[in-house]
Chain A
Amino acid sequence: MKLRKVTAAAAAAVVLSLTATACGGDNDKNDSGSGSGGGDKIKIGIKYDQPGLGLKEPDGSFSGFDVDVATYVAKELGYKPDQIEFVETKSADRENALARGDVKFIAATYSINDERKQKVDFAGPYLLAHQDLLVKADSDISQGTDLNGKKLCSVTGSTSAQNVKDTIAPKANLRQYGGYSECLAGLQSGAVDALTTDDSILAGFAAQDKYEGQFKLAGLKLSNENYGVGVKKGDKETADKINAALEKMVSDGAWQKAVDDNFGPASYKNEPAPKIGAIVK
Protein backbone atom coordinates (compact mmCIF):
# COMPACT_ATOMS: atom_id res chain seq x y z
CA MET A 1 0.00 0.00 0.00
CA LYS A 2 2.75 2.36 1.02
CA LEU A 3 4.71 1.42 -2.08
CA ARG A 4 1.77 2.29 -4.29
CA LYS A 5 1.47 5.73 -2.72
CA VAL A 6 5.14 6.40 -3.27
CA THR A 7 4.86 5.29 -6.90
CA ALA A 8 1.88 7.53 -7.50
CA ALA A 9 3.66 10.48 -5.94
CA ALA A 10 6.72 9.85 -8.05
CA ALA A 11 4.62 9.59 -11.21
CA ALA A 12 2.87 12.85 -10.38
CA ALA A 13 6.22 14.53 -9.81
CA VAL A 14 7.51 13.31 -13.15
CA VAL A 15 4.42 14.52 -14.98
CA LEU A 16 4.56 17.91 -13.27
CA SER A 17 8.22 18.43 -14.05
CA LEU A 18 7.64 17.39 -17.66
CA THR A 19 4.83 19.87 -18.18
CA ALA A 20 6.83 22.54 -16.36
CA THR A 21 9.80 22.10 -18.66
CA ALA A 22 7.53 21.96 -21.70
CA CYS A 23 6.04 25.33 -20.72
CA GLY A 24 9.51 26.72 -20.16
CA GLY A 25 10.58 25.59 -23.60
CA ASP A 26 7.61 27.25 -25.26
CA ASN A 27 8.17 30.52 -23.44
CA ASP A 28 11.79 30.59 -24.46
CA LYS A 29 10.85 30.08 -28.06
CA ASN A 30 8.25 32.83 -28.07
CA ASP A 31 10.62 35.24 -26.38
CA SER A 32 13.41 34.82 -28.88
CA GLY A 33 10.88 34.80 -31.72
CA SER A 34 9.44 38.17 -30.78
CA GLY A 35 12.93 39.48 -30.10
CA SER A 36 13.89 38.93 -33.73
CA GLY A 37 11.03 40.91 -35.13
CA GLY A 38 8.02 38.60 -34.83
CA GLY A 39 7.19 35.45 -36.77
CA ASP A 40 7.91 31.83 -36.01
CA LYS A 41 11.06 29.83 -36.33
CA ILE A 42 11.65 27.47 -39.20
CA LYS A 43 13.12 24.06 -38.53
CA ILE A 44 15.42 22.64 -41.18
CA GLY A 45 16.92 19.16 -41.23
CA ILE A 46 20.64 18.85 -41.98
CA LYS A 47 23.46 16.45 -41.18
CA TYR A 48 25.75 17.33 -38.29
CA ASP A 49 28.71 15.17 -39.21
CA GLN A 50 29.65 15.85 -42.81
CA PRO A 51 32.33 18.48 -43.26
CA GLY A 52 31.75 20.59 -46.37
CA LEU A 53 28.03 19.73 -46.49
CA GLY A 54 26.46 19.87 -43.06
CA LEU A 55 28.67 20.15 -40.01
CA LYS A 56 28.03 21.32 -36.47
CA GLU A 57 31.12 23.20 -35.37
CA PRO A 58 32.42 22.89 -31.81
CA ASP A 59 31.14 26.40 -31.07
CA GLY A 60 27.58 25.42 -32.05
CA SER A 61 27.49 27.16 -35.43
CA PHE A 62 26.83 25.30 -38.67
CA SER A 63 28.78 25.19 -41.90
CA GLY A 64 28.68 23.46 -45.25
CA PHE A 65 27.04 23.54 -48.66
CA ASP A 66 23.72 22.07 -47.49
CA VAL A 67 23.64 24.64 -44.71
CA ASP A 68 24.27 27.47 -47.19
CA VAL A 69 21.51 26.21 -49.47
CA ALA A 70 19.13 25.80 -46.53
CA THR A 71 19.89 29.30 -45.26
CA TYR A 72 19.34 30.80 -48.71
CA VAL A 73 16.07 28.95 -49.23
CA ALA A 74 14.86 29.95 -45.77
CA LYS A 75 15.67 33.58 -46.60
CA GLU A 76 13.56 33.32 -49.75
CA LEU A 77 10.74 31.80 -47.70
CA GLY A 78 10.87 34.89 -45.47
CA TYR A 79 12.96 33.77 -42.51
CA LYS A 80 15.94 35.66 -41.16
CA PRO A 81 19.09 33.65 -40.29
CA ASP A 82 18.35 33.91 -36.56
CA GLN A 83 14.91 32.39 -37.10
CA ILE A 84 16.40 29.19 -38.48
CA GLU A 85 16.71 26.22 -36.20
CA PHE A 86 18.82 23.39 -37.60
CA VAL A 87 17.81 19.89 -36.56
CA GLU A 88 19.95 16.80 -37.07
CA THR A 89 18.30 14.34 -39.45
CA LYS A 90 20.32 11.16 -39.85
CA SER A 91 19.87 9.17 -43.04
CA ALA A 92 17.55 6.60 -41.47
CA ASP A 93 15.33 9.22 -39.87
CA ARG A 94 14.73 11.62 -42.74
CA GLU A 95 11.39 10.31 -43.98
CA ASN A 96 9.91 10.12 -40.49
CA ALA A 97 11.11 13.59 -39.52
CA LEU A 98 9.23 15.02 -42.52
CA ALA A 99 6.12 12.92 -41.99
CA ARG A 100 5.89 13.94 -38.32
CA GLY A 101 6.41 17.60 -39.23
CA ASP A 102 9.54 17.90 -37.08
CA VAL A 103 11.18 19.88 -39.84
CA LYS A 104 9.85 22.06 -42.66
CA PHE A 105 12.34 20.73 -45.17
CA ILE A 106 15.54 18.69 -45.30
CA ALA A 107 18.77 19.53 -47.08
CA ALA A 108 21.06 16.69 -46.08
CA THR A 109 22.77 14.91 -49.01
CA TYR A 110 19.31 13.52 -49.77
CA SER A 111 19.52 11.69 -53.11
CA ILE A 112 16.26 11.62 -55.03
CA ASN A 113 15.13 8.06 -55.81
CA ASP A 114 11.87 6.28 -56.54
CA GLU A 115 11.46 4.55 -53.17
CA ARG A 116 11.92 7.82 -51.31
CA LYS A 117 9.56 9.65 -53.67
CA GLN A 118 6.76 7.42 -52.42
CA LYS A 119 7.27 8.77 -48.90
CA VAL A 120 8.30 12.38 -49.41
CA ASP A 121 8.25 15.06 -52.09
CA PHE A 122 11.44 16.60 -53.44
CA ALA A 123 12.30 20.09 -54.58
CA GLY A 124 15.38 20.51 -56.71
CA PRO A 125 17.77 18.80 -57.41
CA TYR A 126 20.25 21.43 -56.28
CA LEU A 127 23.47 19.45 -56.75
CA LEU A 128 24.54 16.57 -58.95
CA ALA A 129 27.11 14.44 -57.18
CA HIS A 130 28.79 11.24 -58.32
CA GLN A 131 30.16 8.31 -56.44
CA ASP A 132 33.91 8.72 -56.47
CA LEU A 133 37.08 7.55 -54.77
CA LEU A 134 39.28 9.39 -52.35
CA VAL A 135 42.86 8.15 -52.63
CA LYS A 136 46.25 9.22 -51.37
CA ALA A 137 47.74 12.11 -53.31
CA ASP A 138 50.34 9.81 -54.92
CA SER A 139 48.00 6.91 -55.73
CA ASP A 140 47.78 5.42 -59.23
CA ILE A 141 44.14 4.28 -59.12
CA SER A 142 42.49 5.91 -62.12
CA GLN A 143 39.45 3.82 -63.08
CA GLY A 144 36.78 1.68 -61.45
CA THR A 145 38.22 -1.65 -62.55
CA ASP A 146 41.54 -0.76 -60.89
CA LEU A 147 39.73 -1.47 -57.66
CA ASN A 148 39.52 -5.24 -58.10
CA GLY A 149 41.94 -6.73 -55.60
CA LYS A 150 42.40 -3.38 -53.89
CA LYS A 151 41.33 -2.54 -50.35
CA LEU A 152 38.39 -0.22 -50.31
CA CYS A 153 36.51 1.41 -47.44
CA SER A 154 32.98 2.71 -47.15
CA VAL A 155 30.19 3.14 -44.63
CA THR A 156 28.09 0.15 -43.54
CA GLY A 157 24.93 -0.17 -45.62
CA SER A 158 25.52 2.96 -47.67
CA THR A 159 24.47 3.11 -51.33
CA SER A 160 28.11 3.52 -52.31
CA ALA A 161 29.14 0.33 -50.53
CA GLN A 162 26.33 -1.58 -52.26
CA ASN A 163 27.33 -0.16 -55.67
CA VAL A 164 30.87 -1.44 -55.22
CA LYS A 165 29.71 -4.93 -54.25
CA ASP A 166 27.08 -5.16 -57.00
CA THR A 167 28.53 -3.45 -60.05
CA ILE A 168 31.73 -1.43 -59.90
CA ALA A 169 34.27 -3.90 -58.53
CA PRO A 170 32.79 -7.08 -57.06
CA LYS A 171 36.31 -8.44 -56.47
CA ALA A 172 37.41 -5.43 -54.46
CA ASN A 173 38.14 -6.11 -50.83
CA LEU A 174 35.50 -3.95 -49.18
CA ARG A 175 35.77 -2.90 -45.56
CA GLN A 176 32.72 -1.25 -44.05
CA TYR A 177 32.88 1.00 -41.00
CA GLY A 178 30.23 2.90 -39.07
CA GLY A 179 31.46 6.30 -40.25
CA TYR A 180 33.74 7.95 -42.79
CA SER A 181 36.19 9.13 -40.13
CA GLU A 182 37.23 5.54 -39.40
CA CYS A 183 37.84 5.03 -43.12
CA LEU A 184 39.97 8.17 -43.30
CA ALA A 185 42.15 6.85 -40.49
CA GLY A 186 42.66 3.64 -42.47
CA LEU A 187 43.42 5.57 -45.64
CA GLN A 188 45.96 7.69 -43.82
CA SER A 189 47.72 4.68 -42.30
CA GLY A 190 47.67 2.73 -45.57
CA ALA A 191 45.38 -0.02 -44.27
CA VAL A 192 43.01 0.70 -47.17
CA ASP A 193 43.77 2.01 -50.66
CA ALA A 194 40.66 4.06 -51.30
CA LEU A 195 37.57 5.47 -49.65
CA THR A 196 34.37 5.64 -51.67
CA THR A 197 31.18 7.67 -51.42
CA ASP A 198 29.71 10.78 -53.12
CA ASP A 199 32.41 13.12 -54.42
CA SER A 200 30.85 16.08 -52.62
CA ILE A 201 31.18 14.30 -49.25
CA LEU A 202 34.73 13.20 -50.07
CA ALA A 203 35.67 16.72 -51.13
CA GLY A 204 34.34 18.01 -47.83
CA PHE A 205 36.52 15.61 -45.85
CA ALA A 206 39.60 16.20 -47.98
CA ALA A 207 39.15 19.97 -47.69
CA GLN A 208 39.54 19.85 -43.90
CA ASP A 209 42.65 21.65 -42.71
CA LYS A 210 44.17 18.61 -41.04
CA TYR A 211 44.09 16.57 -44.25
CA GLU A 212 45.09 19.30 -46.71
CA GLY A 213 47.29 17.99 -49.52
CA GLN A 214 47.21 14.36 -48.35
CA PHE A 215 44.34 13.05 -50.45
CA LYS A 216 42.88 13.59 -53.91
CA LEU A 217 39.68 12.69 -55.69
CA ALA A 218 40.11 10.10 -58.44
CA GLY A 219 37.49 11.90 -60.55
CA LEU A 220 35.51 8.80 -61.55
CA LYS A 221 31.82 9.22 -62.18
CA LEU A 222 30.62 5.90 -60.82
CA SER A 223 26.99 6.91 -60.23
CA ASN A 224 24.66 9.90 -60.32
CA GLU A 225 23.31 11.25 -57.05
CA ASN A 226 20.74 14.01 -57.45
CA TYR A 227 20.58 15.87 -54.15
CA GLY A 228 17.09 17.22 -53.55
CA VAL A 229 15.39 19.17 -50.82
CA GLY A 230 12.91 16.87 -49.08
CA VAL A 231 9.52 18.22 -48.05
CA LYS A 232 6.49 16.57 -46.52
CA LYS A 233 4.51 14.41 -48.96
CA GLY A 234 1.84 16.55 -50.61
CA ASP A 235 3.29 19.90 -49.53
CA LYS A 236 3.41 21.20 -53.09
CA GLU A 237 3.28 24.84 -52.02
CA THR A 238 6.55 24.65 -50.08
CA ALA A 239 8.20 22.58 -52.80
CA ASP A 240 7.32 25.19 -55.43
CA LYS A 241 8.64 28.01 -53.28
CA ILE A 242 11.88 26.10 -52.66
CA ASN A 243 12.28 25.45 -56.39
CA ALA A 244 11.90 29.17 -57.08
CA ALA A 245 14.45 29.93 -54.36
CA LEU A 246 16.93 27.41 -55.79
CA GLU A 247 16.58 28.90 -59.27
CA LYS A 248 17.23 32.34 -57.88
CA MET A 249 20.24 31.06 -55.92
CA VAL A 250 21.82 29.77 -59.11
CA SER A 251 21.03 32.87 -61.18
CA ASP A 252 22.42 35.40 -58.68
CA GLY A 253 25.70 33.52 -58.22
CA ALA A 254 25.19 32.51 -54.59
CA TRP A 255 25.13 28.84 -55.60
CA GLN A 256 28.57 28.92 -57.26
CA LYS A 257 29.98 30.87 -54.34
CA ALA A 258 28.71 28.26 -51.90
CA VAL A 259 30.31 25.48 -53.96
CA ASP A 260 33.66 27.29 -54.12
CA ASP A 261 33.62 28.13 -50.42
CA ASN A 262 32.90 24.61 -49.25
CA PHE A 263 34.64 22.28 -51.68
CA GLY A 264 37.40 24.55 -52.97
CA PRO A 265 40.66 23.11 -51.62
CA ALA A 266 40.07 19.50 -52.76
CA SER A 267 40.38 19.92 -56.54
CA TYR A 268 36.65 19.16 -56.76
CA LYS A 269 35.23 19.74 -60.22
CA ASN A 270 31.58 20.42 -59.63
CA GLU A 271 28.88 19.82 -62.20
CA PRO A 272 27.01 22.88 -63.41
CA ALA A 273 23.94 23.67 -61.34
CA PRO A 274 21.18 21.18 -62.26
CA LYS A 275 17.89 22.38 -63.75
CA ILE A 276 14.93 22.08 -61.41
CA GLY A 277 13.23 18.73 -61.96
CA ALA A 278 15.99 17.43 -64.23
CA ILE A 279 17.10 14.17 -62.68
CA VAL A 280 20.17 12.54 -64.18
CA LYS A 281 19.77 8.78 -64.09
Chain B
Amino acid sequence: MFDFLEGYDVLGAFWTTVQLTVLSALGSLVWGTLLAGMRVSPVPLMRGFGTAYVNIVRNIPLTVIIVFSSLGLADIFGVTLGASDDFELQGFRLAALSLVAYTAAFVCEALRSGINTVSLGQAEAARAIGLSFSQTLRLIVLPQAFRSVIAPLANVLIALTKNTTVAAAIGVAEAATLMKEMIENEAQTVLIGAVFAFGFVVLTLPTGLLLGWLGKRLAVKR
Protein backbone atom coordinates (compact mmCIF):
# COMPACT_ATOMS: atom_id res chain seq x y z
CA MET B 1 0.00 0.00 0.00
CA PHE B 2 2.84 2.41 0.73
CA ASP B 3 5.05 1.29 -2.17
CA PHE B 4 4.64 4.74 -3.74
CA LEU B 5 7.08 6.00 -1.12
CA GLU B 6 9.92 4.22 -2.89
CA GLY B 7 12.35 6.45 -4.69
CA TYR B 8 11.50 9.52 -2.64
CA ASP B 9 13.66 10.97 0.10
CA VAL B 10 10.82 11.69 2.53
CA LEU B 11 13.09 11.74 5.57
CA GLY B 12 15.50 14.07 3.80
CA ALA B 13 12.68 16.46 3.03
CA PHE B 14 11.52 16.45 6.64
CA TRP B 15 15.14 16.99 7.72
CA THR B 16 15.13 20.21 5.70
CA THR B 17 11.88 21.14 7.44
CA VAL B 18 13.53 20.54 10.83
CA GLN B 19 16.60 22.56 9.89
CA LEU B 20 14.45 25.42 8.65
CA THR B 21 12.37 25.28 11.84
CA VAL B 22 15.29 25.21 14.27
CA LEU B 23 17.20 27.96 12.48
CA SER B 24 14.14 30.20 12.25
CA ALA B 25 13.14 29.44 15.85
CA LEU B 26 16.53 30.54 17.18
CA GLY B 27 16.60 33.61 14.96
CA SER B 28 13.07 34.69 15.81
CA LEU B 29 13.67 34.14 19.52
CA VAL B 30 16.62 36.55 19.44
CA TRP B 31 14.96 39.13 17.20
CA GLY B 32 11.61 38.77 18.99
CA THR B 33 13.26 39.36 22.39
CA LEU B 34 14.96 42.48 21.05
CA LEU B 35 11.62 43.68 19.69
CA ALA B 36 9.91 43.03 23.03
CA GLY B 37 12.69 45.01 24.74
CA MET B 38 12.04 47.88 22.34
CA ARG B 39 8.32 47.80 22.91
CA VAL B 40 8.68 48.26 26.68
CA SER B 41 11.69 50.59 26.53
CA PRO B 42 11.51 54.16 27.84
CA VAL B 43 12.74 55.58 24.50
CA PRO B 44 9.72 56.69 22.41
CA LEU B 45 11.51 56.15 19.08
CA MET B 46 12.30 52.52 19.89
CA ARG B 47 8.79 51.92 21.23
CA GLY B 48 7.40 53.37 18.02
CA PHE B 49 9.64 51.22 15.84
CA GLY B 50 8.77 48.05 17.77
CA THR B 51 5.04 48.74 17.62
CA ALA B 52 5.14 49.60 13.93
CA TYR B 53 7.23 46.52 13.06
CA VAL B 54 5.00 44.09 14.93
CA ASN B 55 1.76 45.53 13.61
CA ILE B 56 2.94 45.64 10.02
CA VAL B 57 4.78 42.33 9.79
CA ARG B 58 2.28 40.14 11.61
CA ASN B 59 -0.49 41.40 9.33
CA ILE B 60 1.27 40.57 6.07
CA PRO B 61 0.58 37.01 4.85
CA LEU B 62 3.67 34.83 5.15
CA THR B 63 3.33 33.76 1.51
CA VAL B 64 3.64 37.39 0.46
CA ILE B 65 6.74 37.87 2.62
CA ILE B 66 8.46 34.73 1.33
CA VAL B 67 7.62 35.25 -2.34
CA PHE B 68 8.68 38.90 -2.04
CA SER B 69 12.00 37.87 -0.49
CA SER B 70 12.73 35.80 -3.60
CA LEU B 71 11.14 37.86 -6.39
CA GLY B 72 11.87 41.25 -4.86
CA LEU B 73 14.90 41.03 -2.59
CA ALA B 74 16.88 38.46 -4.57
CA ASP B 75 15.83 39.01 -8.19
CA ILE B 76 15.40 42.78 -8.24
CA PHE B 77 17.55 44.16 -5.42
CA GLY B 78 20.22 41.46 -5.63
CA VAL B 79 20.09 40.50 -1.95
CA THR B 80 21.18 36.89 -2.31
CA LEU B 81 22.59 36.26 1.18
CA GLY B 82 25.91 35.02 -0.18
CA ALA B 83 24.40 32.37 -2.44
CA SER B 84 23.84 34.05 -5.79
CA ASP B 85 24.96 30.99 -7.78
CA ASP B 86 22.96 28.36 -5.93
CA PHE B 87 19.21 28.87 -5.96
CA GLU B 88 18.63 26.01 -3.54
CA LEU B 89 20.84 27.50 -0.81
CA GLN B 90 19.60 30.98 -1.61
CA GLY B 91 15.97 29.85 -1.31
CA PHE B 92 16.68 28.20 2.03
CA ARG B 93 18.37 31.30 3.45
CA LEU B 94 15.71 33.65 2.14
CA ALA B 95 12.99 31.42 3.58
CA ALA B 96 14.75 31.33 6.96
CA LEU B 97 15.13 35.13 6.92
CA SER B 98 11.44 35.58 6.07
CA LEU B 99 10.35 33.13 8.76
CA VAL B 100 12.50 34.92 11.34
CA ALA B 101 11.10 38.31 10.34
CA TYR B 102 7.52 37.01 10.51
CA THR B 103 7.70 34.78 13.59
CA ALA B 104 9.63 37.37 15.63
CA ALA B 105 6.51 39.56 15.67
CA PHE B 106 4.57 36.78 17.39
CA VAL B 107 7.44 35.91 19.75
CA CYS B 108 7.62 39.59 20.70
CA GLU B 109 3.94 39.79 21.55
CA ALA B 110 4.00 36.54 23.54
CA LEU B 111 6.99 37.80 25.47
CA ARG B 112 5.43 41.21 26.06
CA SER B 113 2.43 39.54 27.64
CA GLY B 114 4.91 37.72 29.90
CA ILE B 115 6.59 41.00 30.82
CA ASN B 116 3.17 42.33 31.81
CA THR B 117 2.76 39.50 34.32
CA VAL B 118 5.83 40.66 36.24
CA SER B 119 4.57 43.01 38.89
CA LEU B 120 5.59 46.64 38.64
CA GLY B 121 7.13 46.50 42.12
CA GLN B 122 9.91 44.26 40.81
CA ALA B 123 10.99 46.84 38.28
CA GLU B 124 10.67 49.63 40.83
CA ALA B 125 12.81 47.69 43.32
CA ALA B 126 15.41 47.06 40.63
CA ARG B 127 15.53 50.75 39.77
CA ALA B 128 15.80 51.56 43.51
CA ILE B 129 18.99 49.54 43.92
CA GLY B 130 20.47 51.38 40.97
CA LEU B 131 20.08 48.97 38.04
CA SER B 132 19.79 50.53 34.58
CA PHE B 133 16.83 49.80 32.28
CA SER B 134 18.67 47.12 30.32
CA GLN B 135 19.96 45.51 33.54
CA THR B 136 16.44 45.50 34.99
CA LEU B 137 15.12 43.90 31.84
CA ARG B 138 17.90 41.33 31.54
CA LEU B 139 18.32 40.32 35.19
CA ILE B 140 14.89 40.81 36.75
CA VAL B 141 12.03 41.05 34.27
CA LEU B 142 12.89 38.82 31.29
CA PRO B 143 13.83 35.67 33.28
CA GLN B 144 10.46 35.77 35.00
CA ALA B 145 8.65 36.72 31.81
CA PHE B 146 10.13 33.82 29.82
CA ARG B 147 9.11 31.29 32.45
CA SER B 148 5.50 32.37 32.30
CA VAL B 149 5.19 32.34 28.51
CA ILE B 150 6.68 28.94 27.65
CA ALA B 151 3.27 27.56 26.65
CA PRO B 152 2.39 30.47 24.31
CA LEU B 153 5.89 30.27 22.83
CA ALA B 154 5.29 26.56 22.20
CA ASN B 155 2.27 27.56 20.14
CA VAL B 156 4.40 29.97 18.15
CA LEU B 157 6.98 27.23 17.59
CA ILE B 158 4.35 24.76 16.39
CA ALA B 159 2.90 27.38 14.06
CA LEU B 160 6.43 28.04 12.78
CA THR B 161 7.00 24.34 12.06
CA LYS B 162 3.89 24.25 9.93
CA ASN B 163 4.62 27.62 8.34
CA THR B 164 7.85 26.24 6.88
CA THR B 165 5.66 24.59 4.22
CA VAL B 166 5.09 28.04 2.73
CA ALA B 167 8.75 27.94 1.64
CA ALA B 168 7.58 25.53 -1.07
CA ALA B 169 6.39 28.65 -2.92
CA ILE B 170 10.02 29.51 -3.69
CA GLY B 171 11.10 25.90 -4.19
CA VAL B 172 12.93 25.12 -0.93
CA ALA B 173 13.27 21.33 -0.87
CA GLU B 174 11.26 20.74 2.32
CA ALA B 175 8.33 18.46 3.02
CA ALA B 176 5.60 20.37 1.17
CA THR B 177 7.76 20.61 -1.94
CA LEU B 178 8.30 16.86 -1.99
CA MET B 179 4.58 16.35 -1.40
CA LYS B 180 3.79 18.39 -4.53
CA GLU B 181 6.34 16.38 -6.48
CA MET B 182 4.86 13.07 -5.33
CA ILE B 183 1.28 14.09 -6.04
CA GLU B 184 2.36 15.16 -9.53
CA ASN B 185 3.84 11.71 -10.20
CA GLU B 186 1.78 9.22 -8.27
CA ALA B 187 -1.92 10.11 -8.46
CA GLN B 188 -2.29 9.07 -4.79
CA THR B 189 -3.51 12.31 -3.27
CA VAL B 190 -5.13 10.99 -0.12
CA LEU B 191 -2.39 8.58 0.96
CA ILE B 192 0.40 11.06 0.24
CA GLY B 193 -1.47 13.76 2.13
CA ALA B 194 -1.89 11.41 5.07
CA VAL B 195 1.82 10.53 5.13
CA PHE B 196 2.87 14.18 5.27
CA ALA B 197 0.18 15.12 7.77
CA PHE B 198 1.47 12.29 9.98
CA GLY B 199 5.03 13.58 9.55
CA PHE B 200 4.06 16.98 10.88
CA VAL B 201 2.15 15.50 13.79
CA VAL B 202 5.30 13.52 14.68
CA LEU B 203 7.28 16.77 14.64
CA THR B 204 4.86 19.02 16.50
CA LEU B 205 3.08 16.79 19.02
CA PRO B 206 6.21 15.98 21.09
CA THR B 207 7.24 19.65 20.91
CA GLY B 208 3.91 20.70 22.36
CA LEU B 209 3.92 18.02 25.06
CA LEU B 210 7.50 18.72 26.13
CA LEU B 211 7.13 22.48 26.25
CA GLY B 212 3.75 22.21 27.95
CA TRP B 213 5.34 20.10 30.68
CA LEU B 214 8.27 22.51 30.97
CA GLY B 215 5.90 25.45 31.12
CA LYS B 216 4.08 23.93 34.09
CA ARG B 217 7.29 23.10 35.91
CA LEU B 218 8.99 26.44 35.42
CA ALA B 219 6.03 28.78 35.84
CA VAL B 220 6.65 31.44 38.47
CA LYS B 221 4.20 30.89 41.33
CA ARG B 222 2.71 34.17 42.37
A residues engaging B (CB < 8 A)?
A: 91-93, 95-96, 115-116, 118-120, 151, 156-159, 161-162, 173-178, 182, 185-186, 189, 191
Contact = CB atoms under 8 A, between A and B. Distances in A.
B189 A156 contact: no
Chain B interface size band reads 20 to 34
26 contacts: A92-B180, A92-B189, A93-B189, A95-B187, A115-B185, A115-B188, A116-B187, A151-B87, A156-B169, A156-B181, A157-B178, A157-B180, A157-B182, A157-B183, A158-B184, A161-B181, A162-B181, A173-B85, A175-B87, A175-B91, A175-B170, A175-B171, A177-B70, A177-B169, A178-B169, A191-B75
B169 A95 contact: no
- Choose among B71, B177, B183, B184 the residue with the greatest number of A CB atoms under 10 Å from its CB: B184
Contacts of B179: 157
Nearest to B177: A156
Nearest to A157: B180
Contacts of A120: 187
B168 A156 contact: yes
Contact of B71 (A92, A158, A174, A186): A186
Contact of A159 (B67, B88, B185): B185
B74 interface: yes
Contacts of A116: 187
B87 A156 contact: no
B160 to A, nearest CB: 20
A118 B187 contact: yes
B6 interface: no
B120 interface: no
B71 A182 contact: yes
Nearest to A173: B87
Contact of B184 (A91, A96, A173, A175): A91
Contact of B76 (A92, A96, A177, A189): A189
